[in-house]
A and B are shown apart, each in its own frame.
Chain A
Amino acid sequence: MPKHIASGLKYLAAVRLKDEGKSQQYIADQLDIDRSTVSHYFNGRNLKWNSIDVAKTITELSPADFLAMVKAVFEDADMARKIVLICKENNYDAMIKESCIGCGLCVNLCFMKAIKLDSLHAQIDSICCCGCYICKEECPTNSIKILEIEND
């Protein structure tokens, strides 16, 4: 069953990428599936069961739960990151306050690998941020500020 959900998520990702104007070959490479499968997706030969509905429900969860589900469904962490990036509902604007002590806890916690330390100060790549707020919640000095930007 997780495989079906994974396929459902990949389907959603494929549709998003198509909407962005990406080629079928690009989509196939990104999602590590055959080009013919991508083609099938777009021609309405859909997946078994209600995989797409489940996948949609997952993307509509809170960002932290969405991330947790995707992590659970995909064994490959890199693929999970890709799916989260493509399918996330919102974009985020993240910044680190001056009070950051550079402990690196956020770097270690961020599944999306969006945070790096530079000169004992954390830097968040907002594009990679999935909005799970795990870093913000765990930051010992409350130095992380994340703003949600509506996609539409």
Chain B
Amino acid sequence: MIKNTKEIKGKDFDVTRSADEVRNLSFKNHICIGCGICESTCPVGAIDLGDVATNARAKVDVYFSGHDKIAQNINEPVDLQKVNVNEDKCVLCGMCSGLCPVDALVLTIDGVPIAEIDEYPSYNVYTIIDDDKCLLCQKCQNACPREAITIKRQLPNRVDLVTGEIEVNEEECINCGVCSELCPAEAIVVDPTTGQESIVIDKDKCVYCLVCKKVCPVNAIKAVCRSCSYGEYDLDPELAKVKGSAIIEDALCVRCGWCEGVCPADAVEVKKPFEGTLVVDQDKCGTCGACVDLCPCNALAFPISEGPGSRMEHVIASEEYCIKCGACANICPNEAITVTRTAIDNTPINSITWNKAFDALKN
């Protein structure tokens, strides 16, 4: 019959079935969030979730529990295999690919990903940064738990933001270097070497703050700032703008919403695949930190103690940034976390089996 082939590249792999059509299931370990949806969905039991519990352990070095600052066992960075597909069992149906919330598993048919084939479902998700509103502040880039955002920005030239005049009378200058040392813009270079003394002011750097003029012991510097007076009109506001754009690496983005949450300009819009709830049973929680390690959204954290005697919750969860992927609930050894999905936003499909698979995600 037709035998599948498997090609392993590090922790990534491809399972391929070649016939009149070529079906290829590719897995990317660095995109996988270890949620386990593929494992529970696979209709032929070909998928096993790897050991995801300790996967992210090395990325945080110190945890805070409710009582004490505990340095947990800090291991060497580990990057374990999160998902395994048995190529002898896999039938390349693509259900894991269709239901994977992050495109870590992607089925292609003759090179076309099923997300681009109308018959197959995909989640209605997006992350959009409105370039017109974006202030290029990089807050989203810093907050993104997946390092999926890059804000590329080009700063204006300093010379286009200020206006003024500055001259130094080199005959009066004693090359003491005081101006150079104080200049906040590092615009003045003084060579005090006997016999080859010099002073050079870089007008591209000078902001006309007049510190040099005020400090010069021999009044050798003449400078005036015109920015505050009529000089404003000499400046072109267009040239003062920060230019750039936001780049989202869609494959890495998990639609957690941190970027939207921290954006001061309301420039970001994130649409998540699932609606639902995340509940932590504080009595059952053993503060092992597996969930905190694994959460792809940085939605779980140990609270920071407010001081001696204060009672804290064991683990705090931020519903706002949770995508209800269920990775934490899967991994929790004490069954302290319950993730419930109440609504799934996916493109419509006709297949009864596939619809059942989506319904099964609502528990």
Contact = CB atoms under 8 A, between A and B. Distances in A.
Interface of A: 98-105, 107-109, 117, 119-121, 134, 138, 140-141
B19 interface: yes
B350 A119 contact: yes
Nearest to A134: B1
Interface stretch (B70-78, B90-98, B129-137, B193-201): B90-98
A102 B354 contact: yes
A120 B1 contact: no
A103 B92 contact: yes
A134 B43 CA distance: 20
A105 B92 contact: yes
A138 B91 CA distance: 10
Given A108-B17, A108-B21, A120 B350 contact: yes
Contacts, number: 64
A107 B17 CA distance: 12
B334 interface: no
A103 B1 contact: no
A121 B351 contact: yes
Given A140-B91, A141-B43, A104 B354 contact: no
Contacts of B353: 98-102, 120, 141
B43 A120 contact: no
A76 B2 CA distance: 20
Contacts of B19: 108-109
A121 B351 CA distance: 6
B155 interface: no
16 contacts: A98-B353, A101-B354, A102-B93, A103-B91, A103-B92, A104-B23, A108-B19, A108-B21, A109-B1, A119-B119, A119-B349, A120-B353, A120-B354, A121-B350, A138-B1, A141-B353
A101 B93 contact: yes
B2 A120 contact: no
Contacts of B112: none
A101 B95 contact: yes
A138 B44 CA distance: 12
Interface in B1-51: 1-2, 17, 19-21, 23, 43-44
B358 interface: no
A109 B43 CA distance: 19
Interface footprint category on B: 20 to 34
* A-side interface mostly: loop
A121 B349 CA distance: 11
Contacts of B351: 100-102, 119-121
B228 interface: no
A147 to B, nearest CB: 22
Interface centre among A98, A117, A119, A141 (most CB of B within 10 A): A119
Contacts of A100: 351, 353
B44 A140 contact: yes
Nearest to B109: A104
A14 B350 CA distance: 43
A98 B350 CA distance: 11
Nearest to B23: A104
B91 A120 contact: no
A119 B350 CA distance: 6
B141 to A, nearest CB: 39
B120 interface: yes
A117 B354 CA distance: 14
A120 B92 contact: no
A138 B1 CA distance: 9
Q: Which 8 A-B pairs have the closest CB atoms?
A: A103-B93, A108-B19, A120-B351, A119-B350, A103-B91, A101-B93, A140-B91, A140-B44
A103 B4 CA distance: 13
A104 B44 contact: no
Interface string B331-363: 000000000000000000111111000000000
Contacts of A103: 91-94
Given A98-B353, A100-B353, A101-B354, A109 B91 contact: no
A52 to B, nearest CB: 32
A96 to B, nearest CB: 11
Contacts of B23: 104
Contacts of A138: 1
Contacts of A102: 93-94, 351, 353-354
Among B43, B95, B109, B351, the one with the most A-chain Cβ atoms within 10 Å of its Cβ is: B351
